[in-house]
Amino acid sequence: MGSGGEHARLWTAQGSSQVELLAARFERFAFDRHSHEQLSVGVIEEGAEGLHLAGGQVVIPAGQLVIINPGQVHTGFAADEAGWRYRMFYFDTGMVEELARERLGAREVWFPETAVRDDGLFARLRRVHAAQEVAGDDPLTAESLLLDGLGAVLGRHARTGPARAAGRQGGHRGPDLARQVLHDRWTEPVTVAELSAATGMPRASLIAAFRQAYGLPPHAYLLRLRANRARRMLLRGGRPAEVAAAAGFSDQAHLTRICKRYFGTTPGAIRP
């Protein structure tokens, strides 16, 4: 693998605020358990990335695509002694649903495979992503290429219907209510007792059911939610200290630690 050490850059795509981009190289770094609110699609350029998912471990070698459904809890680590280099697209759910209706006639889609071998699509997405690193003044072309790329991902590898790939089953009224409380009060301190009162479930039972439904216990889910909201603020140009306070973190240092754990980079490297 080429030289340059570990590095990561996260930014908003030219021509579309609904797409976030990551270009990174890691050797020893490993992501904590987390999930993304967007559809995550990437190309592994060098080495190999490993993921721990609900269904087990997956290794994606260079030359293959990685596709992670929204809300799918996972880790990320080097599955090659030299690490891995990759490019990621994070497509907003609304954008995915709009294209899914146009291309597939269905609003809900999911992806059954995390590691995907598709040489033509790999090369296509790699070119689109690399082009985004070059400053340009043609947002129409930039957005068109992003839409075409996402459309190809949907047309070639998506399945229609509920997101079964994320590992959820029906009948989770208690955890769903607790999740809504966390989303409504994501900047505030929330106790297990309050979640228990809102759902009518005993505390221990609620934590276990929430973990089964969403892959994380409530406190970790809330931390992930705050991190994702902070990421959006940073990508809109927010200053790290102000974002830390607005997103419910104790201080900027806390936000920095969380960004490193979940996104592999510091708040200062997350820019529009």
What is the CATH code of the structural domain delimited by 173-271? 1.10.10.60
- Measured distance CA(200)–CA(196) in Å, rounded: 6
Structure confidence at residue 4 (pLDDT): 58
CA angle 66, 69, 99 (to 5 degrees): 100
Structure confidence at residue 155 (pLDDT): 96
Structure confidence at residue 244 (pLDDT): 96
CA angle 62, 66, 72 (to 5 degrees): 150
| Spans in the chain with pLDDT lower than 70 | 1-4, 135, 163-171
Query: Taken in order 177, 41, 75, 264, is the CA torsion positive or negative?
Result: negative
Structure confidence at residue 167 (pLDDT): 41
CA angle 173, 175, 178 (to 5 degrees): 110
The CATH class, in words, for 7-165 is mainly beta
Enter the tokens of residue 250: 């104790």
Structure confidence at residue 1 (pLDDT): 47
Quickly tell me which residue has 């350029």 as its tokens: 45
- Measured distance CA(168)–CA(186) in Å, rounded: 22
Q: Is residue 155 helix, strand or coil?
A: helix
- Where does the chain hold its CATH 2.60.120.280 domain(s)? 7-165
- Where does the chain hold its CATH 1.10.10.60 domain(s)? 173-271
End-to-end CA distance of the chain: 29
Enter the tokens of residue 55: 């269904």
pLDDT digits (tens, 9 = 90+) for 35-87: 999 999 999 999 999 999 988 999 999 999 999 999 999 999 999 999 999 99
Of 150, 131, 151, which Cα lies nearest the Cα of 142?
A: 131
Pairing of β 84-91 and β 270-271: unpaired
Query: Within 10 Å of residue 170's Cβ, how many Cβ atoms?
Result: 6
Of 21, 24, 74, which Cα lies nearest the Cα of 45?
A: 24
Angle between helix axes 203-214 and 218-235 (nearest 10 degrees) is: 50
Of 24, 56, 57, which Cα lies nearest the Cα of 40?
A: 24
